[in-house]
Amino acid sequence: FEREITPVTLPNGTIVSTDDGPRDGTTVEGLSNLKPAFRPDGEITAGNACPLNDGAAAVMVMSDTKAKQLGITPLARIVASGVSGLNPEIMGLGPIEAIRQTLARAKMSINDIDLVEINEAFAAQVIPSAKHLNIPMDKLNVHGGAIALGHPFGMTGARIMATLINGLQHEDKTFGLESMCVGGGQGMAMIIERLS
């Protein structure tokens, strides 16, 4: 993940070049002993939900004309995007319709997509999304999702995009799809084509 992180030098000279995740020392036994987070009889624990991380990001989006004027080689281009709305009580399933919409706008199928990044607010949300959309598991969050890497509120979309582009470059693939749910009852998705 070195290509996704810009080191920051603190006033005392310490260089910060890693984040808090993945959680060191995590074991299956430790995960199985975690208490439910929301309801006494619930299934969601700190082990199958993403940790809240901090972070900052900057993303540059411009037309191909402007990129040529500035002499910039784009990393990727936006092929299509989509937004969906649904009942906030099932907000975790927002990616399903947003991805369907985005694939239709791009005139593509999930088989045309090389890598998929879905923000893992909870494992219970990503698994049904993948099943409903027939996303092969070997294409999904191949470098780990938010449960492993963290969920830096405010920059999660940028983090997912950086991870997706990095994955496409590393695997020498072309088309990537990113998606996330939104707490108020939305889903968002975008397909990109790697250019460099």
d(CA 7, CA 9): 7
The pLDDT of residue 111: 98
Q: Where are the domains of the chain?
A: 1-196
Helix (H, G, I), strand (E, B) or coil at 27: coil
d(CA 129, CA 93): 6
Cβ-in-10-Å burial (0-12, 13-18, 19+) of 120 comes to: buried
The pLDDT of residue 128: 92
Q: What does each of the 196 residues of the chain score in pLDDT, given as a tens digit?
A: 677 778 889 999 999 887 666 667 888 888 888 888 888 888 888 888 777 777 778 889 999 999 999 999 999 999 999 999 999 888 889 999 999 999 999 999 999 999 999 998 778 889 999 999 999 999 999 988 887 777 777 788 888 999 999 999 999 999 999 999 888 899 999 999 999 9
The pLDDT of residue 22: 64
Give the strand order in the sheet containing 76-85: 76-85, 186-194, 175-182, 115-118
d(CA 127, CA 191): 20
The pLDDT of residue 39: 86
The pLDDT of residue 20: 66
- Strands 175-182 and 115-118, by their bridges, are parallel
Q: Token pair for residue 129?
A: 């999304």
Amino acid letter, 48: N
CATH code of 1-196, in short, is 3.40.47.10
**Whole-prediction pTM:** 0.82
d(CA 2, CA 23): 17
The pLDDT of residue 123: 80
The pLDDT of residue 63: 95
